[in-house]
Structure 1
Amino acid sequence: MRTSEVLFAAAALVTSVTSHATFQQLWVDGVDKGNVCARLPASNSPVTAVNTNDIRCNANPGKASQKCSVPAGSTVTVEMHQQNGDRDCSKEGIGGNHFGPVIVYLSKVSDASTDTGSGKWFKIFETGYNAATKVWGNEGLNRGCGKQQLKIPSSIAPGDYLLRAETIALHAAGQAGGAQFYMTCYVSL
């Protein structure tokens, strides 16, 4: 391989990796909780194997430092950026034409600090493709500094929950293992 080909391949790899992202911060009723209740994954790489436990809360997620109080009926905002700790709004939340839906799930658990996410999940929010505007859900993340706002259903029973924020990049989904899942679980009560 010639030097120019190696440099081109390396540049392409850097571009694709920097286009990856993780959900990091959580806002509850307009209050920025930062990432204290996020189980941050070890990297911003996607999960592509849907038949593994990584699909629950991402591969090798860290521990949250605390639980965040998220009352039924509250408004939450999940925030995504390309690198952990980088909240620079001049950069896309998830870049590189990684178009797809944004989905948020809850799972009622006995202890959100330690639960593995193996229980039942139920969807509380989704924004997909809008045919009228030709805009994907995660394009809204990019336009809004990586943020997606949603309402926690007022009918949710009190207790501990895992809240999973997820976007699915579909640019390579035409092949087996091509869909790229980017998710983070937040621990809440």
Structure 2
Amino acid sequence: MKFESVLYAAATLSIVSAHTIMNKVNHNAQGVGIYMPSDDSPQMDVTSKSMACNGPPVSGFKSSSQKISVAAGSTVTGAWLHTLTNSEADNKVIASSHKGPVLAYMKKVSDAAQNPSAGPGDGWFKIAEEGLISSSQWAVDKLISNGGTQSVTIPSCIANGDYLLRFEVIALHSARAYPGAQFYMECAQITVTGGTGTKSPSTVSIPGTYSGSDPGIKVNIYNTKGQPYPASYQIPVIT
């Protein structure tokens, strides 16, 4: 067995113990203004409606009627945690083996408190993405070093109103076959103020924008030395 295959198998075995949850937005209390699951399981079917905001209302998910007011052009921060009560220093955010990109999308909606039912379908536009940063650092590595904090800037050119803000981490440690990539996402409920409304971004559908054959989703990230740092990586393209 090749060394890279050994690492791939080891990473796959760590799946159960190394998931993650977005649980706080803008330093609010846990679950305020965000639709939050009680467990840290990923989505793996890119055709599922759960790809939008991590599932329809089901037992174990905590909804919130609150919306978070944010100014256009300002920074919004989300906090990722392995579990809602986890305090293990070596695995507080997500396992370091779970390399991959970190992204963010927005969708204008009539009422953000209708999260997550307002999530599936067209209207999504990407506002941030980071993938393979260097030959020794992924966006997930950066997320871990930042203590699980993901910061995104709300575009100043969008219209005022309610939006879903979708934070996403894609773990690629077992993505050599589909389904294998793990998708972690949560949607915050925000109301944007102070936007100029001068631009209407092109939008895509979630589910629909990702494909199981996308080279950024079905991919072997291990190099010839068995390290999870390929020569290049293409972040999933929105289509």
Fold-level similarity (TM above 0.5): yes
Give the aligned partner of residue 128 of structure 1.
Answer: 131
Give the aligned partner of residue 169 of structure 1.
Answer: 171
The separation in 2 between residues aligned to 1:139 and 1:96, in whole angstroms, is: 7
Which ranges of structure 2 fall in alignment gaps of 5 or more residues?
1-11, 192-239
Q: Which of 36, 50, 58 is equivalent to 1:54?
A: 50
User: How far off is 1:42 after superposition?
Assistant: 3.6
Please report the TM-score for the alignment, with normalisation by the length of structure 2.
0.67
The separation in 2 between residues aligned to 1:106 and 1:144, in whole angstroms, is: 23
Q: Which of 149, 152, 155 is equivalent to 1:150?
A: 152
The separation in 1 between residues aligned to 2:28 and 2:87, in whole angstroms, is: 13
User: How far off is 1:59 after superposition?
Assistant: 2.8
The 3 A distance-change label for structure 1 pair 128 and 138 is: same
Work out the number of aligned pairs and report it: 172
The 3 A distance-change label for structure 1 pair 136 and 147 is: same
**Partner secondary structure for residue 140 of structure 2:** helix
The separation in 1 between residues aligned to 2:41 and 2:100, in whole angstroms, is: 16
Moved over 3 A (4+): 85-92
User: How far off is 1:18 after superposition?
Assistant: 2.6
**Partner secondary structure for residue 67 of structure 2:** coil
Kindly provide the CA deviation profile for residues 65-90 of structure 1, in whole angstroms up to 9, marking residues without a partner as x.
41111221111111100002447766
Amino acid paired to 1:97? S
User: Larger deviation: 82-91 or 166-175?
Assistant: 82-91
Give the aligned partner of residue 105 of structure 1.
Answer: 105
Question: Are the equivalent residues in 1 in contact too, given 2:100–2:170 (CA < 8 A)?
Answer: yes
Give the aligned partner of residue 22 of structure 1.
Answer: 21
Q: Which of 175, 181, 184 is equivalent to 1:179?
A: 181
Kindly provide the CA deviation profile for residues 161-184 of structure 1, in whole angstroms up to 9, marking residues without a partner as x.
000000000111111110100000
Output the aligned Cα RMSD.
2.0
Question: Are the equivalent residues in 1 in contact too, given 2:100–2:171 (CA < 8 A)?
Answer: yes
The 3 A distance-change label for structure 1 pair 95 and 130 is: same
Could you tell me the percent identity over the aligned residues?
39
The 3 A distance-change label for structure 1 pair 112 and 89 is: farther
Kindly provide the CA deviation profile for residues 109-147 of structure 1, in whole angstroms up to 9, marking residues without a partner as x.
00111142123110001111013x521111111111111
Matched, 1:40 2:41: no
Amino acid paired to 1:160? D
**Partner secondary structure for residue 112 of structure 2:** coil
Amino acid paired to 1:120? G
Which ranges of structure 1 fall in alignment gaps of 5 or more residues?
1-11
The separation in 2 between residues aligned to 1:82 and 1:146, in whole angstroms, is: 9
The separation in 2 between residues aligned to 1:42 and 1:151, in whole angstroms, is: 27
Amino acid paired to 2:84? N
The 3 A distance-change label for structure 1 pair 164 and 89 is: farther
